[in-house]
Amino acid sequence: MHEMMCAPLFTSFLRMSTKYDFAAVRHDAVAYLAQVFPGQLDAFRERDGRDFFAGYSSKLGDDFRLLAAARLHGATFSLPALFYMCARRTPEEIATFGARFLSNEDVRIALEGRKAAASFIERLRLHPRAPGYANHTRKVQCVAPSCPNFSRGQTYLSCVYDASQKRALRGPLEQTMKSPTFVHQETEELKTYCPIHREDAIRQNADDAKAFWQALPSFFQLPDWKNLESGV
């Protein structure tokens, strides 16, 4: 696939390749979708649908449109990322776009998956992980003004992780995104951290992202990453 298509045209292209059994064309289409919604965390961090689809817009429900196509045409390796991109929206948006593009069953899975993802994010937000993060154990003097004698990294992540029902989910994946959709904007608070606690915040978020990514398929009733087939 050498020319950039819009998401509706791509889904039509994938549907026709399946309907008329154009195996090579379908192979290319599913592989292309796997580039946009990959099964590897590092690749997901770099992804941006606008680099792959002309006029790509989550506001128009393109994520939901592509999820429906992936589900229908066996692009299973892209399903966890696609489900998450849909399920991170508010429940009202999931219901609205889901009614247009998804089966009733997949709307249910997306809504339940959102609850599971939100619960995971909330646990990360409220509870410190590794002792080295939660306690200032290094023998280096903290130089940040009024920096308390515990990890401000934990405080920072408690502020930026958001599992609210009224807003899009914001968890460890969003904080590591490099695409324009999820630019990690350091707050003025984080910029004032001493080097130790700023490093702790970044390291802790990276660890959170790995844990969240490993659990991602389970949120949406899918096999774990090792057992997911590419569908190519």
Q: Over 80: is that where the pLDDT of 149 sits?
A: no
Q: What does the pLDDT read at residue 171?
A: 87
228 domain-assigned: no
- Mention every residue, 6+ apart, whose C-beta is less than 8 A from residue 108: none
- If asked whether residues 15 and 100 sit together in one domain, one would say yes
| Ranges 27-31, 49-53, 77-81, 197-201: which has the least confidence | 49-53
| Full residue range of the structural domain in which residue 190 is found | 117-217
Residues 36 and 79 in one domain: yes
Same domain assignment for residues 148 and 99:
no
Residue 163 domain flag: yes
Structural domain contains residue 34: yes
Check residue 136 and give its pLDDT.
Answer: 44
115-140 pLDDT tens trace: 999 999 998 887 755 444 444 444 45
Q: Which stretch of 81-95, 168-182, 218-232 has the lowest confidence by average pLDDT? A: 168-182
CA distance 80 to 85: 9
Burial class (CB in 10 A: 0-12, 13-18, 19+), 79: buried
Are 140 and 187 part of one and the same domain? Answer: yes
Select from 63, 91, 114 the last residue of a domain. 114
pLDDT at 55 over 70: no
Residue of higher predicted confidence among 220 and 14 = 220
- Quote the pTM value: 0.78
More confident residue, 186 or 93: 93
The residues pairing with 81 across neighbouring beta strands, listed in sequence order, are: none
